[in-house]
Structure 1
């Protein structure tokens, strides 16, 4: 469905954000994109969404296709209309607007009936928001704001939903609820998902396939289960030694320096 081939991104025409990144997201699948801070994960999503210009970035090389259509140099608006919608890191709501107004912003260009159906669908998915529909979104909790951000993206009826760190800063129970809802959307409605997530364990538990990035490049890929079973991934990202003992951060940092697969 979505394919990236040798993607290279530059910031300010000099700084290389990602280099030679290739990945595939099959229709109906959940694909996890993992890596440490600064690995280039968010840059990949911004390149797909065509919003790099906001940070003086540009696609310098490579190709992005969606359902066989080249979207490498489309505008952000054209990408959304094609069915690719991103939920950015940090939620980025219109803080002074109500929950319902934020949702309606995601339904721009749709009929009133379709927009109303979309709002009912979001409140059905996130019942926690029902009593807050007329509350200013900036006054919501972090978890509620994340629900609104995902709901706003769903208002556009995406075929492929991209999420950038949806569990960031959230309590474990709220994070589990949100990721569980995303998994249900994929399973029951066939929405394809590209998930950037720091919580590697949670991401791989719900994903079909995973890619691990370091220093702007894809260093490892495979089925979610194969990555969960990989000793390198377990030590590096899950903090668990080969005997099942959880490693200290100091041990993990030392392990990072000596692992050749990251060289």
Structure 2
């Protein structure tokens, strides 16, 4: 469905955030993009969504295609109308609007009837959101805001749903609820998902394929179960070595590889 090829992204035409990144998100699959803070994960999502300009970012080379059609350089609205919806890191709700008003903002490209149907789908998926529908969004808990943010994206009937750090700062029980919803959307509705996460264990349990990015470059990729079994991933990203839990500062001999194919 989605293909990035040899993407290079600069901020202020001086700071290179992403270099020569290529990745694919097949139709109907969940693909994880993993890496530490500042690795370039969110920049890639912003490039796909067409909002790099908001931070003086620019795609300098490479291409982004949706089902073979180039989308680089298109407006954010045009990309949304193509069916690519993003749930940004930090939720980015309209804090002074009610929950339902936030949801309806996500369905701005849909008819009134489609928006009403969308609301019912969101409320069925997240009953807590329905309970809070008349409340001001800024007063919700972090977990409730994340549910609203995902619901707002779903109002646009995405073909590709992009999630930027959906587990960040949330209690484990809320994280479980959100990831169960994501897996249900994929399993029951065939929704394609690009998942950006720092929680590698959770992401690789959810996705079928994963990419690991460091300093703006893809350094490892492969099927999720094979990445989980990879010694470097276990030691550096999952915190295991020799069957024992290790902290990041204890890791001495991580070998960075360009690609992982075996």
* TM-score, reference length from structure 1: 0.96
Report the CA distance between 1:249 and its aligned residue.
Answer: 3.0
Alpha-carbon distance between aligned partners in 1 of 2:247 and 2:26, rounded to the nearest angstrom: 36
Alpha-carbon distance between aligned partners in 1 of 2:194 and 2:14, rounded to the nearest angstrom: 28
Report the CA distance between 1:111 and its aligned residue.
Answer: 1.7
1:226 partner SS: helix
Alpha-carbon distance between aligned partners in 2 of 1:236 and 1:30, rounded to the nearest angstrom: 23
Kindly indicate whether residue 236 of structure 2 is the aligned counterpart of residue 236 of structure 1: yes
- 1:251 matched to which residue of 2? 250
Kindly indicate whether residue 10 of structure 2 is the aligned counterpart of residue 10 of structure 1: yes
- 1:124 matched to which residue of 2? 124
Aligned alpha-carbon RMSD (Å): 1.2
- 1:210 matched to which residue of 2? 210
- Per-residue CA distance 1:109-168 (angstroms, 9 max, x = gap): 322111111001001000111211000000000000000000000000000000000000
Kindly indicate whether residue 49 of structure 2 is the aligned counterpart of residue 53 of structure 1: no
- 1:137 matched to which residue of 2? 137
1:261 partner SS: coil
1:170 partner SS: coil
2:91 partner SS: coil
Structure 1: gaps of 5 or more residues: none
Alpha-carbon distance between aligned partners in 2 of 1:144 and 1:197, rounded to the nearest angstrom: 19
Kindly indicate whether residue 257 of structure 2 is the aligned counterpart of residue 261 of structure 1: yes
Alpha-carbon distance between aligned partners in 2 of 1:130 and 1:107, rounded to the nearest angstrom: 16
Alpha-carbon distance between aligned partners in 1 of 2:249 and 2:78, rounded to the nearest angstrom: 46
2:186 partner SS: helix
Alpha-carbon distance between aligned partners in 2 of 1:260 and 1:73, rounded to the nearest angstrom: 33
- Per-residue CA distance 1:61-80 (angstroms, 9 max, x = gap): 00000011100111111100
1:94 partner SS: coil
Report the CA distance between 1:260 and its aligned residue.
Answer: 4.2
Kindly indicate whether residue 63 of structure 2 is the aligned counterpart of residue 63 of structure 1: yes
CA contact (8 A) 1:236 1:255 kept: no
Structure 2: gaps of 5 or more residues: none
Kindly indicate whether residue 32 of structure 2 is the aligned counterpart of residue 32 of structure 1: yes
CA contact (8 A) 2:109 2:156 kept: no
Kindly indicate whether residue 173 of structure 2 is the aligned counterpart of residue 173 of structure 1: yes
- Aligned pair count reads 259
Alpha-carbon distance between aligned partners in 1 of 2:215 and 2:107, rounded to the nearest angstrom: 37
* TM-score, reference length from structure 2: 0.97
2:244 partner SS: coil
2:240 partner SS: coil
- Per-residue CA distance 1:53-93 (angstroms, 9 max, x = gap): 11100000000000111001111111000011100000000
